[in-house]
Amino acid sequence: MSKTNLATQFSNIFGRAPEIVTRAPGRIEFIGNHTDYNGGTVLGASIDRGVAVALARRTDGKRNFHSTYTHQTVTLTAGEPAKQSGDSSWTNYPLGVLAALPHFGLSVIEGFDYLADSDLPTGAGLSSSAAIELASALAFLGATGQTADRETVVKIGKHAENHFVGVPCGILDQGVSGFGKSGHLVFIDCAGPRFATVPMPAGASFWIFNTHTKHALVDGLYEARHRECMTAARALGVKWLVEVTPEALLAAQAKIEPTAFKRARHVVEEIARVAETVDALKTGNIDKVGSLLTASHRSSQRLFENSTAELDFLVDTLVASPGVYGARLTGGGFGGAVMALAGAGFGAAQAEAVAAAYAAKFGARPDILPMGTGDGAVVL
């Protein structure tokens, strides 16, 4: 996805060169599962794969969206901001960004030709949605000569996701895609929000195993978990679950509906795990980091119930493999992918053995995706 290659594709489709090319990375949720919209803390990593956008302005008010995934052009006008469906639904991400811009005092580009390309695997929980939102925001701003600081660009992406696309996510995905730094993890205090980076342990690597499974009605399940967390917060008399300690939550268990209590316990204890992970990273205790990652998955499995049999099998198999420090589901759950944090003793041969064991049990082979860290959203 080099600038030159994308510009060539753009010229082949639209018959002219793009005015601006941008790129934003996907992300790995390292630890902090469903903590972001509860005002908590989270660690993520921007990766060396992402979404690139090329754009050139038009004077006739037409908006031509082309994706290398669909190989089709969706043509709208500036007066058609309505949410799209079917094969055109991917345009809701850039359309959501356009709809968000005025909320931040920024003007909206009217007509344009737009090309999106990606080397992110779909359905792997690597947040292609945040990547396309941030790449689109930088392209729309750059083409109109506007600037915004990095935090505002991140908030524009989150606004698009929440209010146009309709997913009640927190700021994790957009924050990591925006503030990523090669060789580092991104720490986000979501209540601020406040962003910082923490160095990755030397010699550690990420391995993603994408199951290509996805629970039916996954969006509804995500919304249900969000609602259950808010129910618990109201019962506790707080705005966000981050305001509650694990001890206070256990003491108030009788006040909370049992399912909502389980969700809240996962979130409150997960926030504590994030803090422990940051401390372990700072002292170089990678074994401790790995045990916290696996503990996070067990909590997702038993308390938040956003895991699946496929994800659980991968975690079980990975943590029993030499060279793996820990493993957990990454992303919203209900299918998708597992992330393993591994050292030099875990390589392609060991990853293939894990995939083979999975295939023997489930009849399909997961994708194996070794991942490196990468920098955040940028104009190329």
Element housing 151 (H / E) = helix 150-159
Residue that has been written with the tokens 């108030």 in this structure = 252
The secondary structure of residue 195, as a DSSP letter, is: E
Q: Which helix (H) or strand (E) holds 133?
A: helix 128-143
Among residues 173, 312, 316, 367, which one is catalytic?
Answer: 173
Please report the sign of the dihedral spanned by the C-alpha atoms of residue 169, residue 175, residue 177, residue 182.
Answer: negative
Query: How far apart are the C-alpha atoms of 203 and 346, rounded to whole Å?
Result: 11
CB-count exposure of residue 276 (10 Å: 0-12, 13-18, 19+): middle
Q: What angle do CA 294, 297, 298 make, to 5 degrees?
A: 90
- Placement of tokens 């259950």 in the chain: 228
Amino acid at 338: V
Annotated catalytic residue 173: yes
Measure the CA–CA gap between 369 and 371, rounded to whole angstroms: 6
Please give the angle made by the CA atoms of 321, 323 and 325, to the nearest 5 degrees.
Answer: 90
User: Which tokens is 40 given?
Assistant: 């908590």
In angstroms, the CA 298 to CA 316 distance is: 10
Pairing state of beta strands 335-342 and 62-67?
Answer: unpaired
Q: Which residues have a catalytic role annotated?
A: 173
